[in-house]
Chains A and B, each alone.
Chain A
Amino acid sequence: MQKLVVIGAGMATGRLLEHLFEADPAAYEVTVFNAEPRGNYNRIMLSPVLSGEKSYAEIVTHDDAWYTANKVTCRFGERVVAIDRDRKVVTGERGEVPYDKLVFGTGSDPFIVPCPGHDLDGVVAYRDLDHTNRMVESAAMPGARAVVIGGGLLGLEAAAGLRLRGMEVTVLHLSGHLMDRQLDPAASYLLQKDLERRGIAVMTQASTKAIHGDGHVAHVELEDGTELPADLVVMAVGIRPSARLAREAGLEVGRAILVDAQMRTSDPDVFAVGECVEYAGHLFGLVAPLYDQAKVLAKTLLDEEDAFAVREVSTKLKVTGCDLFSAGDFAEGEGREDIVFRDPSRGVYKRLVIEADRLVGAVMYGDTADGNWFFGLIKDGTDISEMRESLIFGPAYQGGAAQDPLAAVAALPADAEICGCNGVCKGRIVEAVEGGATTLDAVRAETKASGSCGTCAGLVEQIMSVTLGDDFVLPAAKPVCPCTDLTHEDVRRLIKARELKSQPAVWQELGWNTPNGCHVCRPAVNYYLLADWPLDYRDDPQSRFVNERNHANIQKDGTYSVMPRMWGGITTPDELRAIADAADKYGVPTVKVTGGQRIDLLGVPKEQLPAIWGDLNAAGLVSGHAYTKGLRTVKTCVGTDWCRFGTQDSTGLGVKLEKMLWGSWTPHKVKLAVSGCPRNCAEATCKDIGIICVDSGYEIGVGGAAGMDLKPTEPLVKVVTEAEVFEWVVAFMQLYREHAKYLDRPYKWLAKVSLDWVRETLADPAERAALNERFAISQSVYQYDPWKEHTAAEQERRYQPLADLTLEAAE
């Protein structure tokens, strides 16, 4: 067996070893050196790890078991110090290893702007897990501020991740617009707006002069004199191929290690793949060509013919909610024409660049569904003169009427690229499916399609659907959590069908693999049980998130906020006096008027909660449930009481609705509003349920959102009387309570079951009556003031320490 030594456990060498072991597991005895103290993981997915959407464990591509199974000697956490090509020996920090064949996969080093202060503590690059962990650590400091230098792909992913972790983030970009290598200024403008909407500050044409601080970074100084306070500075300005070791070993090196199309360096027994490679004047940073190289090198090492070729690559940004796509060349130039589509209110922009009847570039923002189709046209150099008129509308509009998305997928040619990261075309996926791969996981295992950044998973499923026809069942949604393989929908269905009425019954009967769940499934199961069996099941405070257990919202310093209900946003001088007295008596640091038309008292320690609630109760105020997945507020305008435009008693209606719905638990929080006329002063059209009063009655809208997503309500029904409003609103609430997945707001639930289905269900008067009746049963149990209950002595004790040993005399 020949000895193969690989320097660097990255995505390219990982893929190389996979191909090698797959083709001939007995060909080589492999040793892998890696400077990082771990094996290969999916570096593309560091951004979701940074933002907290994924854990490190989820992005590991080759675990210890894999290396063991393939008999790889792992020298992780060990740097290679020298290579002696005459003796064919690699020298690591802990000793020598001889080789027959040697592979460089040394990757690249982040480029650090050599400004004064770049070596201060708190200045990090964004390249590997250690960097990511340091950024997560910095983000943990309350009120921490980050400056990200570099507004390219990596910098923006870093910025978005840090922002999601709660940091104040500013992005500095040297050029005039973000991602200037992938986007034109118009698309970049939309991107910048989206980022700013998330609270990320963007400064373009910003040149860093120096980083200041005493040991640790304190602020960043720009050339124009601006000073930005910072606890963390992330350098994401680019990468440099890591070729020092190769140069010292006497290999030919240009900007990176020079290789031929077989990935061979100037030494016939030494090869290189990945970001450390220069081939025909090209350097490589995206994963797709790296994987191509890995495939070629595997063949070369097994003495098979293959040659690497540079191909077009497309780009996507992995920032949840920012949809952008760019491919090809979109610079303006002689003989080039643009086709542009803009829909500013939807934030959609598409630009196609055409030269000599061929598509040469495409930039899309906001709606990137057709990206792969355009990318195919660019790669193939298809003559587009025939379809030019409707080209920008995508494949669905070619050749007649609009088609459904499946038809568009069916129309793609076999060589249309589906997975850009892994270079998998439609034909390869169809082949795998016809060969028996009938699940997404199976297709992924066989073709690698959707295995890296994952954005093409939906497309792969559509191809499977087209190929398998009726045999294809869309894969089940994600399990609730690692405690079970069942989805939320399964659990809800089984709780009803098998009449499971306790949490232990759910864990046992449905085969939970943990003794009593976890923080993810426990609150969900607790909700499903109390929603389905209000009379049989008792709410379990130990399965509640802290806010719902303590009936107050925990704040970042461990104190709580207290918010009494103000029915329909109406209050009285007596109530206000009671609130003011309580704020004085308990030294409440912050009194805030909220967007839900009530008053929040922030900064109350847990021990004082029962006492302050008792005082507020005495003035007739009850819990506002501002902490629950339940009814929050009903916002109103003054309606016919005062307003000269009011058409109905919107205030009265809001108060009645709130008195009817308060106390109910729901899958997620529910907010209502009632506006007295279409001028909509109560902002009813972005609420979960919003009512607009008109002369002839009431328009009930549902499924609005004004949080992470912004979405107007859609009309549910128009009714004439207040009684009908109550009947419909309660029926809608109960339908949502009985069917939605825990933590889905109504708009998310509606997107799954469709508004049409809800309308159809509620159109039946008998169904509405039954839903109203079930809601009333639930309210008979759950409509009570928890504050009142918890000021009682036996409950009040819960809010005090079990014991205070500091009061006893010290020894």
Chain B
Amino acid sequence: MNWIDIGALDDVPLRGARLVKTHAGCVAIFRTGEAEVYATSNTCLHRGGPLSEGIVHDRKVTCPLHNYVYSLETGEVVGPDAGRIATYPIRVEDGRLLLDGDAVGKRSAA
């Protein structure tokens, strides 16, 4: 693991999200609870909608374009549709957000 400081926890609104540009593409950082965060691909499998602009509820996000719902824990599509987006290791330490640089860097080489 190669933890990279990407910003403060409070830069991400509660039940909201922010975007991080990486070599693996755009990554969405979701804040589902006071100190609970998830990182996934920002791109909806359906029509490429920006998931960081979706409504965050429970540990899920709804794509703003056509309401695909994803589990932030697994990246799986919830409901009748199927599919999975990439998820990335992320943690909170002393109010800072740490994203696994290996996970978001490696994919660019592949």
Report the bound CA distance from A797 to B18 in whole Å.
11
Q: How many residues of B contact A (CB 8 A)?
A: 41
Report the bound CA distance from A550 to B19 in whole Å.
14
A518 and B62 contact, Cβ closer than 8 Å, known pairs A801-B18, A805-B4, A806-B23: yes
Contact yes or no, A514 B58, CB < 8 A: yes
Q: Which residues of chain A from 32 to 83 have a CB within 8 Å of any chain B CB?
A: 49, 55-57
Q: Which residues of chain B from 1 to 45 have a CB within 8 Å of any chain A CB?
A: 4, 6-7, 11-16, 18-23, 26, 29
Contact yes or no, A801 B20, CB < 8 A: yes
Report the bound CA distance from A802 to B101 in whole Å.
15
Which of these, A57, A542, A803, contacts B15 with CB under 8 Å?
A542
Q: Which residues of chain A from 541 to 584 have a CB within 8 Å of any chain B CB?
A: 541-546, 549-550, 554, 556, 558
Interface string of B62-87 (1 = CB under 8 A from A): 10110101000000000110000000
- Taking CB as reference atom, which chain B residue is nearest A56? B80
Contact yes or no, A546 B22, CB < 8 A: no
Contact yes or no, A140 B80, CB < 8 A: no
Q: How many residues of A contact B (CB 8 A)?
A: 35
- Taking CB as reference atom, which chain B residue is nearest A522? B55
Contact yes or no, B29 A546, CB < 8 A: no
Shortest C-beta distance, B57 to chain A (Å), equals 5
Report the bound CA distance from A515 to B56 in whole Å.
11
B26: which A residues are within 8 A, CB to CB? 801
Is A427 an interface residue, CB under 8 A from the partner?
A: no
A516 and B15 contact, Cβ closer than 8 Å, known pairs A57-B79, A802-B6, A803-B6: yes
Shortest C-beta distance, A204 to chain B (Å), equals 32
- Taking CB as reference atom, which chain A residue is nearest B19? A801
- Taking CB as reference atom, which chain A residue is nearest B48? A558
Shortest C-beta distance, B102 to chain A (Å), equals 10
Contact yes or no, B15 A804, CB < 8 A: no
B23: which A residues are within 8 A, CB to CB? 805-806, 810
A803: which B residues are within 8 A, CB to CB? 6-7, 20-21
Report the bound CA distance from A549 to B60 in whole Å.
18
Is A122 an interface residue, CB under 8 A from the partner?
A: no
A142: which B residues are within 8 A, CB to CB? 47
Shortest C-beta distance, A133 to chain B (Å), equals 8
Report the bound CA distance from A142 to B66 in whole Å.
13
Contact yes or no, A519 B67, CB < 8 A: yes
Contact yes or no, B53 A546, CB < 8 A: yes
B46: which A residues are within 8 A, CB to CB? 140
A550: which B residues are within 8 A, CB to CB? 53
Report the bound CA distance from A56 to B82 in whole Å.
12
Contact yes or no, B58 A554, CB < 8 A: no
B22: which A residues are within 8 A, CB to CB? 805-806
Is B89 an interface residue, CB under 8 A from the partner?
A: no
Is A715 an interface residue, CB under 8 A from the partner?
A: no
B56: which A residues are within 8 A, CB to CB? 542
Contact yes or no, A518 B57, CB < 8 A: yes
A515: which B residues are within 8 A, CB to CB? 57-58
Is A523 an interface residue, CB under 8 A from the partner?
A: yes
Shortest C-beta distance, B64 to chain A (Å), equals 4
Q: Which residues of chain B from 84 to 110 have a CB within 8 Å of any chain A CB?
A: 97, 99, 101, 104-105
Shortest C-beta distance, B16 to chain A (Å), equals 5
Interface string of A770-811 (1 = CB under 8 A from B): 000000000000000000000000000110011111100011
Is A361 an interface residue, CB under 8 A from the partner?
A: no
A543: which B residues are within 8 A, CB to CB? 15, 55
Shortest C-beta distance, A280 to chain B (Å), equals 40
Contact yes or no, B79 A55, CB < 8 A: yes
Contact yes or no, B16 A805, CB < 8 A: no
Is A603 an interface residue, CB under 8 A from the partner?
A: no
Report the bound CA distance from A159 to B28 in whole Å.
36
Report the bound CA distance from A49 to B53 in whole Å.
26
A811: which B residues are within 8 A, CB to CB? 105
Contact yes or no, A545 B55, CB < 8 A: yes
Shortest C-beta distance, A556 to chain B (Å), equals 7
Contact yes or no, B57 A516, CB < 8 A: yes
- Taking CB as reference atom, which chain B residue is nearest A801? B19
Contact yes or no, A541 B13, CB < 8 A: yes
Is A152 an interface residue, CB under 8 A from the partner?
A: no
Contact yes or no, A558 B50, CB < 8 A: yes
- Taking CB as reference atom, which chain A residue is nearest B49? A558
A558: which B residues are within 8 A, CB to CB? 48-50
Name A residues whose Cβ lies closer than 8 Å to a Cβ of B: 49, 55-57, 140, 142, 514-519, 522-523, 541-546, 549-550, 554, 556, 558, 797-798, 801-806, 810-811
6 A-B pairs with CB atoms under 8 Å apart are A523-B55, A541-B13, A542-B15, A554-B50, A802-B19, A805-B104
Name B residues whose Cβ lies closer than 8 Å to a Cβ of A: 4, 6-7, 11-16, 18-23, 26, 29, 46-50, 53-58, 60, 62, 64-65, 67, 69, 79-80, 97, 99, 101, 104-105
Please name the 10 residue pairs, one residue from A and one from B, whose CB atoms are nearest each other, closest first. Answer: A519-B62, A56-B80, A802-B18, A546-B64, A803-B6, A519-B55, A546-B53, A542-B15, A804-B21, A805-B22
